[in-house]
Amino acid sequence: MCSMDKNDLIRKWLSGELSPEESEAFEALEDASFYREIISDAAAFKAPVFLGGADSPALEKRLSDVRKPEKKLNWVRPLMRIASVLVLGLAMYYLLFQQDLVRVETGVGEKTAITLPDASSVALNALTEISFNEGEWEDNREVQLEGEAFFDVAKGSKFVVATSGGSVSVLGTEFNVRHRGRVFEVRCFEGQVKVVSGDHTTVLREGDNFRISDGVVTSGKNTDSYPRWTRNTSDFQRVPMSEVFAELQRQYDVEVLLEAIDTEKLFTGGFIHGNLELALKSITEPMGLSYSINKNNEVRVKPREQ
């Protein structure tokens, strides 16, 4: 039985609209007894009565109030019914909708690739999280992203990548989305994408990129036909040093301590993944900096002594 048929059965069961054949199908569900337990628990829901301590001066009065005729508490029963419905509603929402939510995340220095239900592929960079609803995918191709990912989208209905910094919508193309802290960046490598971020809306074509950092919008051209991080290299075009060292920490399990460094100074270049010494040299030498690697995965960076 498909998940949609199952959901319809549960909804009809809740509203008492099952036909004899549907009732038989519902009883055949392996978790039918679990749904009945939820109904039972919600029906038995009681609001707790809170009393003062044994030495409370108001204890006797409260006990007296509790013993008053039940007709004076008639207003409580409707509230209990409402509470029961809310408890049941939340439980059923989770069972019907959240059970289809798929979430994938990567750790420090970790990358992974996944295939979406429509055969679209997504490569996730380090410290990235992506989620989507598998049950609703056919009607709603949308993923939630926090971090950085490269998408190769299969042709079909509208495909949306949503982040808290902005959204990207396409029909079928290749593009990279990065949302890290104050930065929201999109690079289009094939086809075209529509980018919406706050009051800004733009269409990127093959080779275009778009970036918002601290509210400042810039656009330009890609220097490569693919995102370099997918080939184990991080690259930067005139970005603050703070971003460079933040990415270094995502790719290596280290803590970077900066001493007398202008973190807003712009950097163009890159570093490889998998060799911390070479990565640090690639960053520090062009910028006139020196570094030391201490215990506990701690890296200190400071201006080079003249």
- List the chain pLDDT tens, one digit each, 306 residues: 444 466 677 767 776 777 888 788 878 877 677 666 655 554 544 444 444 444 445 444 544 454 444 444 454 455 555 655 555 555 555 555 556 899 999 999 999 999 999 999 999 999 999 999 999 999 999 999 999 999 999 999 999 999 999 999 998 899 999 999 889 999 999 999 999 999 999 999 999 999 999 899 999 999 999 999 999 999 998 999 999 999 999 999 999 999 999 999 999 999 999 999 999 999 999 999 999 999 888 999 999 986
205, 228, 251: which is the final residue of a domain? 228
In this structure, the answer to whether residues 261 and 159 fall within a common structural domain is no
In this structure, the answer to whether residues 105 and 95 fall within a common structural domain is no
In this structure, the answer to whether residues 95 and 108 fall within a common structural domain is no
Number of domains in the chain: 3
In this structure, the answer to whether residues 223 and 105 fall within a common structural domain is yes
177: domain CATH number is 2.60.120.1440
Residues in the chain: 306
In this structure, the answer to whether residues 73 and 113 fall within a common structural domain is no
In this structure, the answer to whether residues 82 and 110 fall within a common structural domain is no
- pTM recorded for the entire structure: 0.69
200, 228, 256: which is the final residue of a domain? 228
248: domain CATH number is 3.55.50.30
d(Cα 183, Cα 160) in Å, to the nearest integer?
19
In this structure, the answer to whether residues 183 and 266 fall within a common structural domain is no
Place of tokens 């592929």: 121
d(Cα 185, Cα 148) in Å, to the nearest integer?
9
In this structure, the answer to whether residues 8 and 89 fall within a common structural domain is yes
Within 13 Å of residue 66, how many CA atoms lie on the same side as its CB? 11
46, 70, 99: which is the final residue of a domain? 99
Parent domain of 252: 233-303
Contact in structure between 122 and 105 (CB atoms under 8 Å): no
